[in-house]
Amino acid sequence: MKRVITYPRLLLRACLVFLVGLVGLNLVFPLPLDKARNVSPVVLDRTGGWMAGFTVGDGVWRIPADLSQIDSRYIEKLVAIEDARFWTHSGVDVPAIFRAGVSWKKAGKPVSGASTITMQLVRQIEPRERTLGAKIIESFRALQYELFLSKSEILELYLTHISYGGNIDGIHAATLAYFDKTSDELSEDEIALLIAIPQAPEARRPDLWPNSAKRGRDKILAKLSDRKIITQEMFEEASEVPVTSQRKPIPETAWLSAFALKENSSVVTSTIDPFIQKDIKELARQFLEDEPNDVNLAMTIIENKTMAVRAHIASGGRKRQGGWLDMTRRYRSPGSTLKPFIYGLAMDDGLLSSSTWIEDAPTRFGSYQPENFNHRFYGQVRIHEALRHSLNVPAVAVLEKVGGNRFETDLKTSGIDVVRLGGDSETAGLALALGGAGITLNDLAVGYAAIANGGNARPLRWRESDELSEPIKLLSADTAAKISEILRQAPTPDGRVPGWLSEEGQSVAYKTGTSYGFRDAWAAGFTDEWTIVVWTGRPDGAPRHGKTGRIAAAPLLFDVVATLPSQSNSRFYQQDPKAPGGLQRVKDYTETGPQILFPPHEAELLTTEFGDKARGFTFSARAETGDVKFYVNGVPIEKSSDRTIWRPQSPGFYRVVAVDKLGREAVSRISVIGLEAIKDPRF
């Protein structure tokens, strides 16, 4: 009987042997996937928008490709020109090899290539001399890639590694460098140019050889037209577009912020909100316009609920002195910005309340004798006044009761790292109250966000993939609320209106700080939804005489708050306990309310006597409805001979309110000091 050969079965066995051979080959000669995936670290904003990228070790831009973010028309045309059977072949296009061989034999030289996209990928990752042996190796490698990777993965690797001349690899880097745009929406002339350049990367570089690049592009356009992929009209229009020779820098937003987040060969999605970041960056630019080049700034803006960093200015610009430094991660003296935590811990310990009286007078703590910033003392004051006006002696006295070591430990346990600047002595511990420590802006932001979040401290979230950590109790909820109330009533910077006076404004609880010698100016604060910390100064630590936190940082903090979106609008406006109902604000009136002429807001009144025998101060105000009624700390001041004369009983801080007949009010916060309390002869 004649033997019948079953070709399908033999073919199946042959294919099986071939596959086993490929698998064995991969064990001996594995795919260089580590090299294939050696790509530029990329940082995106929370919406997936571009922030910054970084070159790989050899200085090449190799931004990973994502097919979902690439114009589909480009993919269609690329495959049509480079590898028409890409989606169906196994890495080696056998018909193309036969075609190339026949054309070579007829012409006596190579006329058309047979390299598939997969084989071109092999050549990009493992370059070799163009020999027959190298071609055979490329073919086997291509089969390996097809066996272990999907077509989409192969195409993405190809579009990541394909050379576009110079240090530009991949379509994303090419579109950013040559078109200043991403690759998701391309014109016909751009598509043709992106196909043409890799065919001769150095000879067709638009930044060096624009005419050669245009000729190569037009050849691709002609092929697309001949194959009816584009119309004749599209061909003619695209051919008329000039090729620019200008190479654009790879764009970057918040480069220093992105640098701190980048991960090798990875795409990181940050928590940065691009819209908030843009607004904050513009505010920073405007602020620095009038500052000398040696002055810089830094800011961190946190969404309280999620602890996500929504905007971050690590430096005001790399062209400024120290502009390459991330000042939000540098240890600087915080000035008085730690005082809210001192009083908060003391409140939690039951040592005091916001209404406790404390002495502000020259006091020595061992070898340490602090002074107030203005070299004046105010006698008996309440804790809320001491904090609101940042008095130094009361803060040190309270820290002595709390304990410098305990204070430092509680902060560090909550994720707020503090480094003593004066060693481990008792004096250095007490100096923490006045800025005798090093702290980073970001850690300070953790602390203020903790107050805003009811005393619960959590680490900042920088990546969208970061989970919200479990809270660490820094202060009790009741104490955090009391500290917040005090800070919300702090005097606003000149030219800024308190949030409670505006229906659209956000009420800000904030504290300023100035380090010794005017080296650092701080403003740290929060609203219901946001925490903001601002630092301005010289990165080299040189002094700036007269530049306090209130002058050089607080206005910028209020400008930032004005730009931030808000879902709520808490006023946190509170009357003095003894003030009558007439002090409540009246809405929807058309007339102008009263205006206090004397004493002006934040005035400092000097007197030689206190009590009923003192000469006193005459209050005056202007109002459309006629006379006004004055209250000091909620107590009405009676008129005498048509004049309102107030005689302070003691030094301290006072709240003066003028109320007209319609119940509308004006407020001045003042301080009164006695002549004998003036310590510095300059005053």
- Tell me the domain boundaries of the chain: 34-240, 327-439+448-563, 581-677
pLDDT of res. 666:
87
Q: Which residue bears the tokens 């430990």?
A: 409
Of the pLDDT bands very low, low, confident and very high (cuts 50, 70, 90), residue 104 is low
| Burial class (CB within 10 angstroms; exposed 0-12, middle 13-18, buried 19+) of 131 | exposed
What 3-state class would DSSP assign to 615?
coil
CATH of region 581-677, choose from 2.60.40.60, 3.90.650.10, 3.30.70.360, 3.30.1300.10:
2.60.40.60
Cα separation, 632 vs 569, in Å, equals: 28
Classify domain 327-439+448-563 at the CATH topology level.
Answer: Beta-lactamase (3.40.710)
DSSP 280-310: HHHHHHHHHHTS-TT-EEEEEEEETTTTEEE
Q: From start to end of 318-408, where are the E strands?
A: 357-360, 379-382
- Overall average pLDDT of the 240-264 stretch: 91
Cα separation, 326 vs 296, in Å, equals: 11
Across the chain, mean pLDDT equals: 85
What is the reported pTM? 0.78
Share of the chain above pLDDT 70, in %: 85
Q: Which residue bears the tokens 């589909």?
A: 72
Q: Long-range contacts made by residues 92-97, C-beta under 8 angstroms, separation at least 24?
A: 92/116, 92/118, 92/119, 92/139, 92/142, 92/143
pLDDT of res. 114:
65
CB 621 within 8 A of CB 595: yes
- 188 included as an active-site residue: no
- Overall average pLDDT of the 52-81 stretch: 93
Residue 427: is its pLDDT beyond 70? no
pLDDT of res. 580:
32
pLDDT of res. 12:
60
Burial 430-442 (b: 16+ CB within 10 A, else e): bbbbbbbbbbbbb
Q: Write down the catalytic residue from 212, 257, 336, 414.
A: 336
Residue 585: is its pLDDT beyond 90? no
Helices (H), 108-187: 117-125, 132-148, 151-161, 171-179
Inter-CA distances, 372 with 86, 129, 505, 663, Å: 77, 77, 32, 37
- Overall average pLDDT of the 199-227 stretch: 96
pLDDT of res. 631:
93
Give domain 34-240's CATH architecture: Orthogonal Bundle (1.10)
Of the pLDDT bands very low, low, confident and very high (cuts 50, 70, 90), residue 421 is confident
- Count the neighbouring beta carbons within 10 Å of the beta carbon of residue 79: 15
Residue 478: is its pLDDT beyond 50? yes
- Overall average pLDDT of the 102-113 stretch: 52
- 336 included as an active-site residue: yes
pLDDT of res. 98:
54
pLDDT of res. 570:
45
Select the more confidently predicted residue: 394 or 99. Answer: 394
Share of the chain above pLDDT 90, in %: 57
Q: Which helix (H) or strand (E) holds 537?
A: strand 530-537
Contacts of 353 (CB under 8 A, 6+ apart): 347, 383, 482
For residue range 116-142, list pLDDT tens digits in order.
Answer: 999 999 998 988 877 777 778 888 888
Q: What angle do CA 304, 283, 434 make, to 5 degrees?
A: 60
Q: Write down the catalytic residue from 40, 82, 146, 668.
A: 82
What 3-state class would DSSP assign to 428?
helix
